[in-house]
Structure 1
Amino acid sequence: MEYVQARVATLHDFADPLPPAPTGHTAVVVPMTEREHGRQAADRVFRTLERLAPARVVVPLRAPAERVPRIREWLSTYDLTLDLLWCDGPRVGDLLADAGLDGDRGKGRDVWLGLGPATEEEFVVVHDADTTTYDESFVRRLLFPLTRGYAFSKGYYARVEDDRLYGRLFRLFYVPLVRALLDGTPHPYLRYLDAFRYALAGEFAATADTARRIQAPRKWGLEVGTLGDAFDVAGFDATAQVDLGTYEHDHRAVDGSAGLSEMSRSVGETLLRSVVERGVDVDFDTLPERYRATATTLVDQYALDAGFNGMEFDREHEREQVKRYAAAVQEPTSPDDRLPAWADAPVAAEAVTDAATADVEAVVDATQAEAPGRDDD
């Protein structure tokens, strides 16, 4: 246990706190894909939210049409004021296309869709649905700083499970990349990025005004993109990070379309674009080598830490991951895919909600009409 304050206010789990929080004025955004449907972790999340009784729960859902009816039926079993936003419906797609917002789909786009209606409440909390250790302290802890004048709150926790160190994308990519950049220039934005104990955590809370000013990247760069906007809106003085204690959820493979290597490209693109946009002079010719050197040193430090705690640690495997991630350390060249802040969006949040609701009703009606044994005479 430690009690060190970072450059942003850092709240520690000294005594398993369950602080008071304005849950009755809060919307909780829980992005889901079809894989979370019916799983024990997701059930735990929604059962816990029942006890918290937030003003509303918004579930942006990415799933094929044939899975939507069963997922809606499952979500209806929870005693919650819950808005199901099917992100892949035709009406939502047409609405975004007409507003010039069509493009790649991903977690960032889903969360952005959920933030629109969520900001009708005073406070917004965002977290995933795959947390096996979820309890009501998560939402309360994230909200607590917002009742004390802070505008943005980020969760953190140690990714230690089964006698192993996880959080590989953060440990082996984000941290060494930010440190390599910071060694080159002590820019305030880089110091801000370096202040977070787990910058790639998906759990955050914000005032509605702050949430309306988030320009969400469409894919895996969401967490880094959120920090960039938080720096602009809240800065050091109005940002807090909160210890969420024990935290366990699904692990990803390094390879594959949703693997860590693919995620590193999205995270790296978003991070480096945000750095350049804020006036940091980056030497991209030397940055990959500086990143690898910093990451290699960290691998040795992690190996020592794991050995100290009697944990398993595959040093060579971690070094190999560093080599894979180094491919993502390059000057951003792809088009900026960020969605506009809701404060400036060319589409109304209510219109998105209405379109998503109509899409869900249409696919449910179609499923019922095709059900065996239906007599339409």
Structure 2
Amino acid sequence: MPDFHLNYVPTFTLLQKETLAAMEERLLQASTRIPVGVLIPALYSDLASPAMANIIKELTQMQFVGRVYISLDRADLEDFRRAKEIVAPLEDKGCLLWNDNPQVQAVIQKIDDLLPLGPRGKGRAVWTALGYILTKGEVSVLAFHDADILTYDRTFLVRLLYAVVQLRYQFAKGFYARYGDRLYGRAVRLFYFPFVRSLRVILGNLDFLEYMADFRYPLAGEFAMFTSIAREMQFPSDWGIEVGILSEIYRLVRVPRICQVELTNRYDHKHQQLGTDPHSGLQKMIADIARTFFAQLSSQGIVLSREFFRTLKLTYLTHARSVVGVYEAFAEMHDLEQYDLHNELTAVETFAHALDNAFEDFHHYPFGSPFIPDWRRIEVAIEGIMEELTAALDRPL
């Protein structure tokens, strides 16, 4: 997507004649002064997939990456033992963190008794690993990505990390196009973009919404930052994690020191289903994302009444249905024969129902999606707890 359009958030698109080898060499030199790590949250099913096998193979060849932290979640002892064999090719670079170790869970329960952590999910897996990484102090810059990327190669991390390690942006967010024989990314195409547009129509010119609207793939799980920022960062324990992290970065960092980087020409990973009820699939994801937005807006003094929610739903439906027509034309232009207008409109209507659930949850729980306390507060509230967690993770058996 090579272009020179200047976004509100500094944006680096992918040019066709970039010299990846030169970028990687400069990154390698810089990594001797600024150690680099990678954090990957994963279920065992993710870790045992062909996608993760390729990710591990690529990571073993990246000399600029000093440590790879894999946060293994919802896994029993047998899963953990098999996982150790899977990550063995990483050798000393690899660090497998077993979150379901009873010793680790005992430490986490001690924290939860004083500072509620919210339900388990991707956010909790990231948070647990962050506590370990910050205590160890082995890396200065940390990249995050998921374990189910089917089109993964070294370009991902070279471009993502280069913006932070070499260009010294404080935070870099990855973006890309998701398509195959059809357009993917329904959550961002059919919900996030028209949802944020609707908020801007109703609430007017808010700097926060301008910032959140400017990301080209805001729900992407790939980003990098300095670990000093991670210590002070709160984020949701559920599917609102990406939106929550973008909101926290907005609070902690000036926008000119934030950037987004196009990582690849085409990206593919495991596809989520719409879900059969409000607590599964994309329906739950949409509700979690919406609640995170509502909490952020309320914290800025905006009153979200029942009338506001009714207007927002109708405005969202109007904008979402209009973009479906645009994506239909887009698919025809690129000869994507699998585009299904009915399925796209069904997704929009399902997301509108998910908004209803988000509205009700927000009225019952006005803080929105549960935010996990930042590690800076936790280490002050419970002396020695980070060292205790780290010791438990270092003694998995």
With the length of structure 1 as denominator, give the TM-score of the two structures.
0.90
Distance 2:31 2:146 in 1: 18
Residue of structure 2 in register with 1:227 after alignment: 246
Aligned partner of 2:300: which letter? R
Q: Structure 1 residue 316: deviation in Å?
A: 1.5
Residue of structure 1 in register with 2:73 after alignment: 62
TM alignment of 1:306-345, pairs within 5 A: 306-311=331-336, 312-329=338-355, 330-331=358-359, 332-333=362-363, 334=365, 336-345=369-378
* Contact 2:118 2:371 (C-alpha < 8 Å) held by counterparts: no
Instruction: Name the SS of the counterpart of 1:227 in structure 2.
Output: helix
Instruction: Name the SS of the counterpart of 1:52 in structure 2.
Output: coil
Residue of structure 1 in register with 2:10 after alignment: 9
More off after superposition, 324-333 vs 38-47: 324-333
Residue of structure 1 in register with 2:325 after alignment: 300
Distance 1:261 1:305 in 2: 25
Distance 2:86 2:62 in 1: 19
Aligned partner of 1:43: which letter? A
Aligned partner of 2:148: which letter? D
Distance 2:178 2:294 in 1: 25
Residue of structure 2 in register with 1:114 after alignment: 129
TM alignment of 1:259-270, pairs within 5 A: 259-270=281-292
Distance 1:234 1:130 in 2: 29
Cα deviations by residue, 1:150-196 (Å, 9 ceiling, x for unpaired)? 111000000111x2100000111111111100112110000000010
Aligned partner of 1:26: which letter? V
Instruction: Name the SS of the counterpart of 1:196 in structure 2.
Output: coil
Instruction: Name the SS of the counterpart of 1:105 in structure 2.
Output: coil
**Pair 1:200-2:219 in alignment:** yes
* Contact 2:97 2:129 (C-alpha < 8 Å) held by counterparts: yes
Q: Structure 1 residue 48: deviation in Å?
A: 1.2
Residue of structure 1 in register with 2:310 after alignment: 285
Residue of structure 2 in register with 1:352 after alignment: 389
More off after superposition, 47-56 vs 277-286: 277-286
Assess, with a 3 A threshold, how the Cα gap between structure 1 residues 258 and 127 changes in structure 2: closer, same or farther. Answer: farther
| Gapped regions of structure 1 (runs ≥ 5) | 362-377
Instruction: Name the SS of the counterpart of 1:104 in structure 2.
Output: coil
Instruction: Name the SS of the counterpart of 1:113 in structure 2.
Output: helix
Residue of structure 2 in register with 1:151 after alignment: 170
Distance 1:17 1:204 in 2: 21
Distance 1:281 1:196 in 2: 25
The number of equivalent residue pairs is 359
Residue of structure 2 in register with 1:139 after alignment: 157
Distance 2:377 2:19 in 1: 37
**Pair 1:215-2:234 in alignment:** yes
Q: Structure 1 residue 137: deviation in Å?
A: 1.7
* Contact 1:299 1:315 (C-alpha < 8 Å) held by counterparts: yes
Aligned partner of 1:139: which letter? L
Residue of structure 2 in register with 1:255 after alignment: 275
Residue of structure 1 in register with 2:48 after alignment: 38
* Contact 2:286 2:351 (C-alpha < 8 Å) held by counterparts: yes
More off after superposition, 251-260 vs 144-153: 251-260
Aligned partner of 2:71: which letter? P
| Gapped regions of structure 2 (runs ≥ 5) | none
Aligned partner of 2:119: which letter? D
Distance 2:254 2:321 in 1: 31
Distance 1:244 1:13 in 2: 7
- Structure that is richer in helix per residue: 2
Aligned partner of 2:333: which letter? F
* Contact 1:220 1:267 (C-alpha < 8 Å) held by counterparts: yes
**Pair 1:105-2:137 in alignment:** no
With the length of structure 2 as denominator, give the TM-score of the two structures.
0.85
Assess, with a 3 A threshold, how the Cα gap between structure 1 residues 17 and 106 changes in structure 2: closer, same or farther. Answer: farther
Instruction: Name the SS of the counterpart of 2:172 in structure 1.
Output: strand
Residue of structure 2 in register with 1:364 after alignment: none
Aligned partner of 2:285: which letter? M
Q: Structure 1 residue 279: deviation in Å?
A: 3.3
Aligned partner of 2:267: which letter? Y
Cα RMSD (Å) of the superposition?
1.8
Distance 1:16 1:269 in 2: 40
